Chains A and B, each alone.
Chain A
């Protein structure tokens, strides 16, 4: 049993000792079972995510959600204990592929889960398909993974980049009453797809995206871009994440824009992975995503309380992604009665899981392997001194194709920069 190739130590957030402890507990419980039924070998799940480098905290959130769920189910599935083998993909696609090869070929895992960046997601797909190993992507959101470049062996339980934004574009026009919007976003596929999704439905309803500003991902001073925002728009739609979200939000206020032009955006801009580090500059920002830690349902309240108790921080959508992802995997394994060696049956089971009580709400896959799930319109508010994404509207059962016919939708090109 190995938890990772390199020691994971992050005093504040990760609580390494406890994590190791949990896995040891699983092993102990498993051993007892093995003692009774010597034929029951462990189910091996390979996990990759960036656990070092600039994206490490997101990777840890994903892993934390995973470990939390495994702790909750305790003794394994159908008499087989679960072994998780964790690898750091360093947010580099080539490293992710090498580590995945190692997990599949040397560790002989039965199924794979993880990956954060779309680039890694695309890099793994041909290999996963060639090796016929079922893999669950909890986060990777590149539209085409479940659209024009589908994989038989990959199941996505997260979302496609444009998915919440389709819903948001319509909402922004009708409910927020916006007619003219400028967008400012990170200049890569995730930005293009999110902005593209928003623009499509917003303009279909009669709105106008007056200007699209793209910031290279390495930018940290947004001043040259902020100066380009036209003053005559009803709102600015922003897509950032991590430190860029923090910096953007600060600088938007710094240049006096917050008082003048309303700010809306993609869910990551105010997601809980960065929201606790923001100040009043984030108040009132309206965004759309399939999860918020402030979602007031029994399942989510329970999840947030357990997550806070164990990691001493509020869960982000990354945390929830692999908590639900783990639940998804375990449900599928139960359906095949722990027979994970039959990967074709397993992947079929993975495609037909339906969860009704995930923290984010109900979800199931469409025919293309992408979840149909609620999209929440959230507004940043301060409650008991803490910033949170309060749900102001729930748009139920949103598909990646929105209200369009999938076949027609797929004839359109992928959302791009222009």
Chain B
């Protein structure tokens, strides 16, 4: 029983981290139809920038803010200066993001070297919560809480604000949205930057546990894609449901049948695709 509760909590923690990363990925796809291979790079850059800033200032908060803002700026630049030139042409855009993934990977290696590192824990959350026989790290609970808050904010933004309305209009029909006076280019740029910022934030949140290391950019990307494909590309609700599903299945899969950990990860995706090719909440 203790074992199952611990694994369940672990699964939710994975889900929280996945949601932060996949949320940005699905937003970008929903609005711009870009399969962003460089999304993992934004996740990586977030950790590295935070690491540098925290090392200089000793402030986790400053590190997080710097990471989110700087990576958002990088995302904006990538969209404005490069992806915009190939608007509505998914293949060149995807290849371009792939190129950027390689450029960012080598750039990070040149700037920061290949050593692994971890970010410090926030002082208040360094310990673990113990109730009877269950030991669960406080920081992991905190990440779950943060992801829930981010999810809630995104939902409110999407459903109850003018920005959200414009966003949804752009997702549904970019041409019609443009005709009604929505600046589709601006929305696209903003969404791409926000997606990058979310990935960076996810990286920083995972930083004390997973840290930063060479190759991390492509480590979490397949998982994020599985989440987005299960949930339906472009759907925030889908990203939430997909994250929880993948987080739990992946954790219980690794715990119960470790030999099949790849199978348990991808099997749900195949099943969902077979039954509903657009994903759980995707639209065709």
Interface of A toward B, CB cutoff 8 Å: 9-14, 52-57, 60, 187, 213-216, 218-221, 223-225, 227-228, 242-243, 246-247, 250-251, 254-256, 273-274, 277
- Quick check: B210 and A221 within 8 Å, CB to CB? yes
* Chain A residues, CB < 8 A from B3: 227
The complex places the Cα of A364 from the Cα of B202 at a distance, in Å, of 50
Interchain CB contact under 8 A, A246 and B211 = yes
Given A57-B114, A247-B209, CB of A223 within 8 Å of CB of B135: no
Report the minimum CB–CB distance from B281 to chain A (whole Å): 26
In the assembled complex, B117 has its CB within 8 A of some CB on chain A: yes
Q: Does the CB pair B118–A223 fall under 8 Å?
A: no
Establish whether residues B10 and A221, one from each chain, have CB atoms under 8 Å apart when the complex forms. yes
Q: Say whether, besides A223-B251, A251-B209, A54 and B115 are in contact (CB < 8 Å).
A: no
Pair B110/A9 contact, Cβ less than 8 Å:
yes
Contacts of B254 in A (CB 8 A): 219, 224-225
The complex places the Cα of A213 from the Cα of B210 at a distance, in Å, of 20
Do B255 and A255 have beta carbons less than 8 Å apart?
Answer: no
Min CB–CB distance B250 → chain A (angstroms): 8
CB <8 Å contact, A247 and B113: no
Q: Does B261 contact A (CB under 8 A)?
A: yes
The listed residue with most B CB atoms (<10 A of its CB), out of A56, A224, A251, is A224
Residue of B114, B118, B216, B254 with highest tally of chain A CB at under 10 A? B114
Are B113's CB and A221's CB within 8 A?
Answer: no
Judge whether A256 and B130 touch: CB under 8 Å: yes
7 A-B pairs, CB-CB below 8 angstroms?
A14-B113, A52-B109, A216-B258, A221-B14, A246-B211, A247-B210, A250-B209
Partner of B118, one of A9, A187, A273, A277: A277
Contacts of B220 in A (CB 8 A): 220
Tell me, rounded to whole Å, the shortest Cβ–Cβ distance linking A195 to chain B. 15
* Contact A224 B7, CB 8 Å, known A57-B114, A247-B118: yes
**A11-B111, A277-B118 given as contacts; is B137 within 8 A of A224 (CB)?**
no
Q: Give Cα A14–Cα B109 distance, bound, in whole angstroms.
A: 12
The CA-CA distance from A255 to B214 in the complex, in Å, is 25
Name B10's contact: one of A10, A218, A223, A242 (CB within 8 Å): A223
Cα distance, A273 to B135, chains bound together (Å):
31
What residue of chain A has the Cβ atom nearest to residue B252's Cβ? A224
C-alpha spacing A55/B254, complex, angstroms: 25
Distance in Å: Cβ of A302 to nearest Cβ of chain B: 25
B214, A56: Cβ atoms under 8 Å? Answer: yes
Q: A12-B113, A52-B109, A254-B128 are in contact. Are A220 and B219 (CB under 8 A)?
A: yes
- Determine if B211 and A255 form an interchain contact, defined as CB atoms under 8 angstroms apart: no
Q: Which residues of A contact B258 (CB under 8 A)?
A: 187, 213-216, 225
Residue B100 at the A interface, CB < 8 A?
no
- Which residues of A have CB within 8 Å of B92? none
| Chain B residues within 8 Å of A256, by CB | 128, 130, 135
Interface residue? B59 (CB, 8 A): no
Chain B residue, CB-CB nearest to A220: B210
Assess whether A224 is in contact with B116, with CB atoms less than 8 Å apart: no
Contact A221 B209 (CB under 8 A): yes
Instruction: Give the chain B neighbours of A277 by CB distance below 8 A.
Output: 115-118
Task: Report the Cα distance A54→B106, complex, angstroms.
Answer: 11
When chains A and B are docked, how far (Å) is the Cα of A60 from the Cα of B214? Answer: 13
Measured between alpha carbons, how far is A301 from B254 in the docked complex, in Å?
Answer: 44
CB closest residue in chain A, given B6: A227
Contact A250 B118 (CB under 8 A): yes
Q: Within 8 Å CB of B117, what residues of A?
A: 246, 277
Partner of B215, one of A54, A227, A251: A54
Q: Is the beta-carbon distance between A57 and B113 smaller than 8 angstroms?
A: yes
B13 at the A/B interface (Cβ < 8 Å)? yes
- Structural contact, A13 and B128, CB atoms closer than 8 A: no
Q: Which of B113, B136, B211 has the most CB of A within 10 A?
A: B113
Given the complex of chains A and B, what is the CA–CA distance between A273 and B115 in angstroms?
Answer: 8
Q: Which of A9, A220, A247, A255 contacts B137 (CB 8 A)?
A: A255
> Would you call A246 and B116 a contact (CB within 8 A)?
yes
What separation, in Å, do the CA atoms of A271 and B261 have in the docked complex?
28
> Are B214 and A227 touching (Cβ within 8 A)?
no
Q: Does B48 contact A (CB under 8 A)?
A: no
Which chain B residues border A9 with CB–CB below 8 Å?
110
Complex-state Cα separation, A241 to B220, whole angstroms? 19
Q: Bound state CA distance, A14 and B7, in angstroms? A: 42
The answer for the CA separation of A214 and B7 in the assembled complex, in Å, is 17
Please give, as numbers and ranges, the residues of chain A lying within 8 Å of B128 by CB-CB distance: 254-256
A223 and B13 contacting across the interface, CB-CB below 8 Å: yes
* Chain B: minimal CB distance from A156 (Å): 25
CB B12 to nearest CB in A, in angstroms, measures 11
* Across-interface contacts of B104 in A (CB, < 8 A): none
Pick the most buried of B6, B136, B215: most chain A CB atoms within 10 A of its CB. Answer: B215
A218 and B111 alpha carbons, distance in the complex (Å): 24
- On whether the beta carbons of A10 and B113 are closer than 8 Å, the reply is yes
Interface string of B126-148 (1 = CB under 8 A from A): 00101000011101100000000
Would B210 and A216 count as touching, CB distance under 8 A? no
Complex A-B, nearest 8 residue pairs according to Cβ-Cβ distance, in ascending order: A54-B215, A57-B114, A243-B213, A243-B116, A256-B135, A223-B10, A224-B254, A224-B255
A6 nearest CB neighbor, chain B only:
B106
Closest approach, in angstroms, between the C-beta of B159 and any C-beta of chain A? 32
In the complex, the answer to whether A254 meets B113 with C-beta atoms within 8 Å is: no
**A221-B10, A221-B14, A224-B10 given; A13·B213 CB < 8 A:** no
Within the assembled complex, what's the spacing in Å between the Cα atoms of A10 and B112? Answer: 8
